[in-house]
């Protein structure tokens, strides 16, 4: 009477795994920026690598700026009061912080303060 069959044990593990996955996806973790992105401002493809290296993401005065050398991107874990994540883009000696508002996993709008820079779509 106290025995659990193999089928029930597997079903129980599957159900608990699905519940865990659903809870984790609702925990508020940010969507990933990793990938290739096409911006609506007509600039070149933006690329974000899994290790944080990126290309085409540094903007100064509302326009893209690339002085050569490596560029890194770091996205915050939490949203601000406007529902946006902070994105720190560094290309030494330059560094800037932008705000990112996601619309699903494959669309994001970048802001500098209250100014919209561009909306980009994952390719």
Q: Does residue 10 lie in a domain region?
A: no
> 62 is in which domain, residue-wise?
30-122
- The answer to whether position 21 is within a domain reads no
Mean pLDDT of all residues in 108-113: 98
- Model pTM above 0.85: no
Q: Does 3 fall in a domain?
A: no
Question: Does 14 fall in a domain?
Answer: no
What is the C-alpha separation between 91 and 53, in angstroms, rounded? Answer: 10
Residue 16 lies in a domain: no
Q: Do residues 109 and 121 make contact, with C-beta atoms less than 8 angstroms apart? A: no
Q: CA 47 → CA 23, 41, 54, 120, distances in Å?
A: 30, 15, 5, 11
Better pLDDT: 108 or 24: 108
Across the strands, what pairs with 48? Answer: 35, 54
The Cα diameter of the chain in Å comes to 73
C-alpha span between 75 and 52 (Å, rounded): 9
Give the pLDDT score at 22: 37
pLDDT per position as a tens digit, 30-69: 799 999 999 999 999 999 999 999 999 999 999 999 999 9
User: Considering its fold, how many domains does the chain have in total?
Assistant: 1
């Amino acid at each position: 009477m106290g025995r659990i069959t193999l089928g029930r044990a597997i079903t129980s593990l599957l159900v608990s795994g699905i519940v865990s996955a659903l809870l984790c996806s609702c925990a508020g973790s940010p969507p990933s920026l990793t990938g290739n992105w096409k911006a609506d401002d007509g600039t070149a493809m933006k690329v974000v690598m899994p290790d944080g290296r990126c290309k085409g993401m540094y903007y100064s005065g509302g326009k893209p700026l690339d002085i050569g050398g490596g560029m890194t991107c770091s996205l915050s874990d939490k949203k601000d009061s406007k529902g946006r994540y902070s994105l720190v883009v560094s290309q030494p000696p330059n560094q800037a912080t932008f705000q990112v508002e996601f619309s699903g996993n494959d669309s994001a709008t970048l802001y500098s303060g209250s100014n919209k820079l561009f909306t980009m779509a994952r390719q």
